[in-house]
Amino acid sequence: MEIKNKKKFKLNKKKYIILLSLLVVFVGIAVCGFWIRYKYYTTLPESHVFVCDNPSNDSEFDTWMKEKIGLNWVPTYLIIKDDVVIGTIRGGIPEKQFTSELTYILMKNWQIEELPDIPVSCVDGTRDSLKNVLPNDKNFYIIEISWVQCPDCIFQDENFTKDIYGKYSNQLIYRYYIHSTQDEVLEKHNFRKE
């Protein structure tokens, strides 16, 4: 026995236009959402940007990094966990290489040096030690050491920084500028000076 009242789905012109319009709107919303999320994750907030006190001389924090961590290159990423430097990654590298080195550091969990209780200046003018600034939880954090006028730092920013920030989010990353003035840093990040 055959069923004769079978309804056939017909896609007439009106239904086709409505479906296509809904698809375009959905894709547009998705693209905007991804762009907003990417922009948010790749832009450091002011509270995550620090600058040396005197660009002409090494600050106490700069000296600590050179003597205790062996910092001799910028950009360099300090990997921090539980207020302890557990590793460093020399910058100028793409996100995949950064991730590979970070994974290795997190697996080894070396105890290189505890963060000092040395006050540093946030670009907004407040001062506190990074030990007090970093959240006290079980996550790792990244302090990116940079210099506004350093060619290698400029190369890093132009080629790899957005990818690294996009992967790890600006919630885990802080940036400290050596040999840079507050005005240079404010201009670089498009922050307004008050």
pTM exceeds cut of 0.75 = yes
Confidence check: pLDDT of 12 > 80 = no
Give the separation between CA 183 and CA 2, rounded to whole angstroms.
82
Instruction: Give the distance from CA 59 to its chain's centroid.
Output: 24
Decide which of 14 and 181 is more confident: 181
Task: Work out whether the CA dihedral 63, 67, 72, 77 comes out positive or negative.
Answer: negative
Domain ranges of the chain: 42-188
Q: Give tens-digit pLDDT for 107-139.
A: 998 899 999 999 999 998 899 999 999 988 889
Alpha-carbon radius of gyration of the chain: 24
Q: What gap in Å lies between CA 71 and CA 62, rounded to an integer?
A: 9
Q: Across the chain, what does the average pLDDT equal?
A: 88
CB atoms within 10 A of CB 39: 11
Closest CA to 144 of 184, 102, 82, 100: 102
pLDDT at position 8, please? 57
The yes-or-no verdict on residue 55 having pLDDT over 80 is yes
